[in-house]
A = this chain, B = another copy of it.
Amino acid sequence: IVNDFIFRFNKGVVYNFQTRVDRNILVWYTDGSHWINMKPVLETLVDRGHQVTVLIPSSSMYMNTNEPARFHYEPFNASFSLETIEKFLEEFLQFSIYEIDYMNYWEIYIRFINIAKTNLQYNIQYLDGVVKSEVIMKKLKEGNYDLLLADPINPGSDLVADILGIPLVFSLRFSIANNWERHCGQMPAPPSFVPGAMKNMMPYINYCACELMSKADIWLIRTYWDFEFPRPFLPNFKYVGGIHCRPAKLLPEDLEEFVQSSGDDGIVIFTLGSMINNITKEKANMIASGLAQIPQKVLWRYKGEKPEALSANIRIYDWIPQNDLLGHPKTRAFITHGGTNGIYEAIYHGVPMVGIPMFGDQPDNMIHMKEKGTAVILNLNFITAEDLRDAVNTVINDKSYKENAMRLSSIHHDRPMSALEEAVFWIEFTLRNKGAKHLRVQAHELTWYQYHSLDVLGFVLTMVLLIIFIFIKTCSFCLHRCCVRKGKAKRKAE
């Protein structure tokens, strides 16, 4: 595969622009599902001979320097412990999943502001661990990096790229109300037909220091037209949704046996994502009771306390090979919290979904899938066992859900190159060309009133008013002279 990749990249080239020189790539720290998504890109960059160095804070939940990885780690100190972060996350989840549905707007607003403030504080402390550490900054400067790759959800990468004077490639799913893309990236978004993700989550918690962010050479957006509603975009925005997706591998023997035991009814896969290890016992019982009523076998990824009565068609696992299961021919439906990674695996394999969105972009993601006709949405706080049973039955028995899932899958696969290849192509493009300035719209150099041509409009309007004014004045002057003369003539005649 690597050889074919290189061959393709060099094919049809007249000059040797694309002769690959192994480069030195710096990667900004990130965490959670963002890190899961970043990893396949880094693995491929290493496959292609680049040296990849990843900044990693002392308090990280997902990044793990002990993991036998093929890239270097550059650890830095965060001035708070992993426990502090985990506690904050726990509180955030408690608020997002349970409390929010029983609060009024004002309470939500206050709570949201507080969470945003704390989040910003942690982000600044992380950033201080890098830019205020002389040791780290010295190391980074001496590292002779050729490019900085960053998910902007953890702020500061733009600042460091600017200090080091190296090109910057962003990889992001979206920002709240698409603020960064629109204001810092200059992506046009007429609100009449381009919905801003999570627009209802005002006030914006995104900081909007566009001066540095706008210097990003390439914006790798982690969606594609299988998920996204069509919208205007710019030459340096590349839609690479599904970076981490891959064909299903064979299942472990015991799992395959359970899957095969489902017969023609097939299986349902159920997970609420890597963040949620626990739900209330009451909810777990309700779910178990609902899933007991469907003919499919259910594979449930769940680390919390097991429900009291578990029907024979349900098995609970600490961990499941989610992608391999979604790609299994017996899979009929996917019950998901609606994270982008899981949704893309379902799109890749053409599996209809029942969404139980919880926080962040999850509700927004599931609305996309519902609109595309491949998902039903439920609210964990208000559903009964029967609602869950009915939803699963609907997406399995109403053939339109499967058909739409297959159509999205078709769109996902039917592109000039895979998402991962395209992401790596544009990172290497930025390396080869030391940036991508020729893809940067002139709009970055305009003020808001210049962008909307208000300066031109103002000038034209002033001119028109001036001409009308001069015209009226001239007329009145002439009329006056005329009248005066006539008056004089009259008086003379008298």
Cβ contact within 8 Å between B18 and A413: yes
On whether A232 and B15 interact (CB within 8 A), knowing A411-B438, A416-B422, A438-B411, the answer reads no
- Copies of this chain assembled into the complex: 2
Q: Is A21 an interface residue (CB 8 A)?
A: no
Of the candidates B13, B416, B450, the one whose C-beta lies within 8 Å of that of A192 is B450
Q: How far is B8's CA from A236's CA once the two chains are assembled, in angstroms?
A: 24
Contacts of A446 in B (CB 8 A): 192-193
Cβ contact within 8 Å between A188 and B191: no
Q: Is A442 an interface residue (CB 8 A)?
A: yes
Q: How far is B230's CA from A235's CA once the two chains are assembled, in angstroms?
A: 6
Cβ contact within 8 Å between A191 and B414: no
Q: How far is B187's CA from A440's CA once the two chains are assembled, in angstroms?
A: 18
Q: How far is B15's CA from A327's CA once the two chains are assembled, in angstroms?
A: 11
Q: CB-nearest residue of chain B relative to A248? A: B14
Q: How far is B190's CA from A97's CA once the two chains are assembled, in angstroms?
A: 42
Q: How far is B15's CA from A406's CA once the two chains are assembled, in angstroms?
A: 9
Q: How far is B11's CA from A414's CA once the two chains are assembled, in angstroms?
A: 10
Cβ contact within 8 Å between A433 and B411: yes
Of the candidates B14, B193, B414, the one whose C-beta lies within 8 Å of that of A441 is B193
Q: How far is B450's CA from A429's CA once the two chains are assembled, in angstroms?
A: 39
Q: How far is B8's CA from A226's CA once the two chains are assembled, in angstroms?
A: 21
Contacts of A413 in B (CB 8 A): 12-15, 17-18
Q: Is A229 an interface residue (CB 8 A)?
A: yes
Q: CB-nearest residue of chain B relative to A429? A: B414
Of the candidates B18, B188, B233, B422, the one whose C-beta lies within 8 Å of that of A414 is B18
Contacts of A416 in B (CB 8 A): 416-417, 421-422, 425
Q: Is A152 an interface residue (CB 8 A)?
A: no
Q: Is A443 an interface residue (CB 8 A)?
A: yes
* 8 A-B pairs (CB sep. < 8 Å): A14-B247, A14-B348, A15-B413, A17-B410, A193-B443, A230-B442, A231-B234, A232-B232
A-side residues, CB < 8 A to B, are 4, 8, 11-15, 17-18, 187-188, 190-193, 225-226, 229-236, 247, 327, 348-350, 406, 409-411, 413-414, 416-418, 421-422, 425, 429, 432-433, 438-443, 446, 450-453, 456
- Contacts A232-B232, A232-B233 supplied; 13 other A-B pairs, CB < 8 Å: A12-B247, A13-B413, A14-B247, A14-B349, A15-B410, A18-B414, A193-B441, A230-B438, A230-B441, A414-B429, A414-B432, A416-B416, A417-B417
